[in-house]
Structure 1
Amino acid sequence: MPTKSRPPSAEQDLAYLRSIVEGGGGDSGKGMLTMGALYLAGGLLYGLQCLFHVGQIVGVIRWSGPASLAFVVGVTVAFLVVMTWAILEDRKVGGAARGAMVTRTMNAAFSATGMCNLAVIIIFGVGSARDNDFAVWLYYPAIIFALQSAAWFVAWSLRKKLWMLFMSLGGWLTAVALGLLVREPAAYLMVCTLALFGLFALPGWIMLRGALRARKAA
């Protein structure tokens, strides 16, 4: 007598839906290569630039104007090189490496934050030039860290990884600190330096390491 197939249980249904959301084998982080590389490079390069400016303020670094400008331009050029490599690498691997739905949602949240960043640059850049007050421009990084805080909170809500919550809280505290220190150049730059290393370079390294491990294991 043939055995009757048992109807799927609620637990099996939930497991199936979870496998769809997580892309089959779980959210391995393969789609985080580009974002991880950009965060790591941006945090290290621009953190180094802020540290350079701190050295200028305290008198340790006394470069000429052209040399200082060349250094600042070099930092941006280096970041653009890394960004180009990350984008090309992401395209080379293909759409399969974009990861699970959770990863794609995270990428979308951070991409939306990037769009907001562009608007903020225009608003504060024009306002600073119009009012002839550089301090107005210094509010821009504070807003950026606030937006990053929101994006990391979305990431923590999706992944429930404690370090992501720390990134969100750190971004919020940094935004408040920078907003209060726009008239204190040395303290402002020190906060920026620590935040870029701790809230950009560190999570970038975590994401990049996870993405590379996932791609090697695939």
Structure 2
Amino acid sequence: MRALVDDDGSHNRNFGFIYLIAGVLYGAQCLLNWALLVTDAQVSPLIWMLVGWLPTILFLIMIFQNSWQNLSNPYGKGTTKRAVGAAFTGAGIANLVLALIFGWVAFQKRDWSIWLLFPLVVCALQGAIWLATAILRRHIWHGITAIGWFVSAIVLGLFIDNIPAYVLALGVALFVCMALPGLLIFRAGKQTMSNA
């Protein structure tokens, strides 16, 4: 029975690492964009492109490397772990599809305010996944993370006409609701592995 709910912690460590890296990369991207906006820095389009694309390129490399190393057991052992892993994977694929849709519509209509709705949807989806995780795992901090994501979506909606405030709020949300939980999960996974 224990095998249904436990494993050696490697899945938690890997998931936590990916979630931590995503929060740090995209949070730093937002904060750098915010700094460039509020200082009204005159930088070349190449810098804006690097700030825009480099985090995604680095993140995709890390996702590919991590997935390749964990082909035999991508979701961990146990029903709960597999359910949570599948939910986060599904949300990740949904985010990719939504990014393509929002990006395409914004490009076609030449209205980039449409693109600003995408991070709100991502925050709401992350909140839903963390709420499901809180119900499955019965950890209060998972529920607090869900609330953080939902609040972030609302705050972004309030700041949608103030781009610097919007980007700053998104950056803070990514550090608090993604990087911090990723760090906690990563550390717990490492601890479990060292005790196994």
**1:50 maps to which of 8, 19, 30:** 30
Counting aligned pairs with the same residue, the percent is 28
Measured in 1, the distance between the counterparts of 2:74 and 2:87 equals 19
Instruction: State whether structure 2 residue 191 is matched by structure 1 residue 213.
Output: yes
Contact kept? 1:36, 1:205, Cα under 8 Å:
yes
Higher deviation after alignment, 113-122 or 135-144: 113-122
DSSP-derived class of the 2:156 partner:
helix
Instruction: State whether structure 2 residue 1 is matched by structure 1 residue 21.
Output: no
Instruction: Call closer, same or farther: CA 1:59–1:201 in 2, change over 3 Å.
Output: same
Amino acid at match of 1:99: K
Instruction: Call closer, same or farther: CA 1:89–1:209 in 2, change over 3 Å.
Output: farther
DSSP-derived class of the 2:161 partner:
coil
CA shift for structure 1 position 154:
0.6
Contact kept? 1:37, 1:82, Cα under 8 Å:
no
Higher relative contact order (CA 8 A, sep 6+): 2
Deviation by residue 1:1-39 (Cα, 9 ceiling, x = unmatched): xxxxxxxxxxxxxxx5xx3532xxx46643223321221
Measured in 1, the distance between the counterparts of 2:62 and 2:74 equals 22
Instruction: State whether structure 2 residue 15 is matched by structure 1 residue 35.
Output: yes
Q: Tell me, which stretches of 5 or more residues in structure 2 are unaligned? A: none
Q: TM-score, normalised by structure 1?
A: 0.81
Higher deviation after alignment, 206-215 or 129-138: 206-215
Instruction: Call closer, same or farther: CA 1:186–1:160 in 2, change over 3 Å.
Output: same
Flag the structure with larger Rg.
Answer: 1
Measured in 2, the distance between the counterparts of 1:38 and 1:118 equals 16
Q: Give aligned pairs, total.
A: 196
Amino acid at match of 1:21: L
DSSP-derived class of the 1:98 partner:
coil
CA shift for structure 1 position 90:
2.2
Q: TM-score, normalised by structure 2?
A: 0.89
Instruction: State whether structure 2 residue 158 is matched by structure 1 residue 175.
Output: no
Over the residues paired in the alignment, what is the CA RMSD in angstroms?
Answer: 2.1
CA shift for structure 1 position 69:
1.9
Measured in 2, the distance between the counterparts of 1:95 and 1:54 equals 39
**1:88 maps to which of 60, 63, 68:** 68
CA shift for structure 1 position 75:
2.1
Q: Tell me, which stretches of 5 or more residues in structure 1 are unaligned? A: 1-15
Higher deviation after alignment, 164-173 or 64-73: 64-73
